[in-house]
Chain A
């Protein structure tokens, strides 16, 4: 009922994992997102770019309802994941977050060992058997391209790792839950170029199994890793297209101004 309008601007996409339909988001009286409508494709990397405060982080945080934790926010419109409205009161938020993992801008490993960080999610789910947890830990760290670096220090504090390694621990922690979608909110902004390159390579690997949504400040990064890119400005989705299209033949003047570095 809330999703009366069902539209898809981009007809060429085959399997949309997420449908965002006419989403309006308010912080108190401030309109942060103004009628966003887009589809995110399955097993692709979708990047959101735009200047600071354009609403791209707000949007990604709507996808696993992290914005619920902020007081005084209001949301209109609807977001469907696998066809279900995630803002339906019947939806269990923690269940949703288990399906939609998230990695934050600043590496935020728990002050526990690397092992305990990675198996945190499964433990919360109630997995107790050591052999299963060991297995999950190895798989997740391998996928996060960290296994070879830390396999001998699994029981050392995650806080002793470098920033790039910490961020990969956070990614491993997210994919240990076997989510359908992985959201990354500027995951490389606190990292150096080498660590960034490692994470980008890993993202390309991840896309084989997961739908990845990444918010980034870095246009080169979006151009390098993503299949689709959305350009946001002032709470509006200015342009959303295949990455190559958007960066080579932008349809809107504002997009062209931004990607050529005229502002932003």
Chain B
């Protein structure tokens, strides 16, 4: 035994097994999220159970488990949908209550804009009081036509009426400015001008309103008649339907197509129903934009700090204290940075900016409230130690002989730094940036008090001048996970969304990192040091 220990093999085994444990944990984590997150878009078949009490239920099988605290017997969790009728999306059914079960081919699953899924049988379509029978194929045509109508309405609401509102708001602010004392004739004339403009805009607005209500009337003309599991009749306006499909009647390729269209919707669409349905595009966009803004702020700050610390400050007591403090800054809980961001950036700087540049909008704050700029700056403070440390490492990795070569040619310290040392330290700087980006993309706590919201009405970039709106609140994947998982009214139904959003966050961070790593490797190749 002693001999065995002396060979050194046990230590190899010890180290290797700890690595294995780490790998298993990471792989398990990713695998769990992948399975749970990617599974939700697959169309599940719908089962119909006839129960002992002569009722009939219809729904997706979610899971089967032994009944807790009972010796024998299983129970089944069924997603019955129809929250507006049943109150709950899910129902537990003990197996001994079930008389028989089957998968009826004609059952339809309907995704609605409100109230979650509906499961039932398509009975007919009604228009102006006349009822016709309809097949699911025919229904999907009607739905597509209504989707076009829906998009038209959205464009009208968001873009055209949104533009008018934007203009009106601007003019109102101008008016407020002009009406402020001291009054004068020219000011009065200008104010009248603006008032006239507002009147024109208001007229345009009411015209659009009429158009909108006409479109809504068209949209609500047609209604589906759906029979639920127990035979109850339900009226469902076609306009309410996002998607209608017959999962029991779909072959594998149809299911794949369905899967991809759901996945596409998830990535590119806006959320519905308190974020538990629909897509997460605004959150992905907000996350990436925030990370970019953060990088733009953190890289110059961190690099300049590191250059001073490493190249100019020398190695004395104060510089050592500063270095230790910077390193310790990385360990400060992130919520502390959030509080600092709120107090310093938002109230102090934002408040001052409002007082100077956006006085007419007060008391409603412009920069004096949470926004993507302040959130990014707060995160850049949080990540600056990472950049400082890795830049310092990058600077020390530049061999002294290269610096000497430059000095010997009559270059000053700054010229040497700028022309030789910094280019060679770029991979180190980028490594720091990658780490900072990864950290920033996953941070939630400081964002909650510096500008992230559950649902942002508009993206921080749009077609209104000046196109990039740094004062706007934004959505973020990390916060989205928290919000969907813990703050939504229908948590059970939101669980798959939590996994899918987590997966999206992982992929976003991965994509950001891979981009940065590719850039770094290109540079590293370029500035590879002498092999001699």
Contacts and interface: CB of A to CB of B under 8 A. Distances in A.
Interface in B199-242: none
Which of under 10, 10 to 19, 20 to 34, or 35 or more describes the interface residues of B? 20 to 34
Interface stretch (A15-23, A33-41, A91-99): A91-99
Contacts of B399: 108
A166 B409 contact: no
B528 A66 contact: no
Interface in A100-123: 101-102, 104, 106-111, 120-121, 123
A97 B405 CA distance: 11
Given A111-B526, A125-B410, A104 B405 contact: yes
Contact of A69 (B402, B404, B409, B527): B404
Nearest to A124: B411
A110 B406 contact: yes
A94 B419 CA distance: 16
A66 B407 contact: yes
Nearest to B525: A157
B186 interface: no
A144 interface: no
A98 B410 contact: yes
B412 interface: yes
Contacts of B420: 110
* Chain A interface helix/strand/loop/mixed: helix
Given A111-B527, A124-B419, A66 B409 contact: no
B529 interface: yes
A166 B410 contact: no
B410 A94 contact: yes
Interface in B360-415: 399, 401-402, 404-412, 415
B531 interface: yes
Given A108-B530, A120-B419, A66 B411 contact: no
B532 A111 contact: no
B415 A124 contact: yes
Interface in A171-221: 173-174, 177, 190
Interface string B435-455: 000000000000000000000
Contacts of A97: 407-410
B423 interface: yes
A125 B531 CA distance: 29
Contact of A120 (B409, B526, B528): B409
Contacts of B410: 94-95, 97-98, 121, 124-125, 177
8 contacts: A97-B407, A97-B410, A110-B419, A111-B526, A120-B406, A125-B410, A159-B528, A166-B532
Closest 9 A/B residue pairs (Cβ): A98-B410, A102-B408, A108-B401, A121-B409, A97-B410, A108-B405, A111-B527, A94-B410, A124-B411
Given A94-B411, A94-B412, 15 more contacts: A66-B404, A97-B407, A97-B410, A101-B408, A104-B405, A108-B404, A109-B405, A111-B527, A121-B410, A125-B410, A159-B528, A159-B529, A166-B530, A174-B408, A177-B410
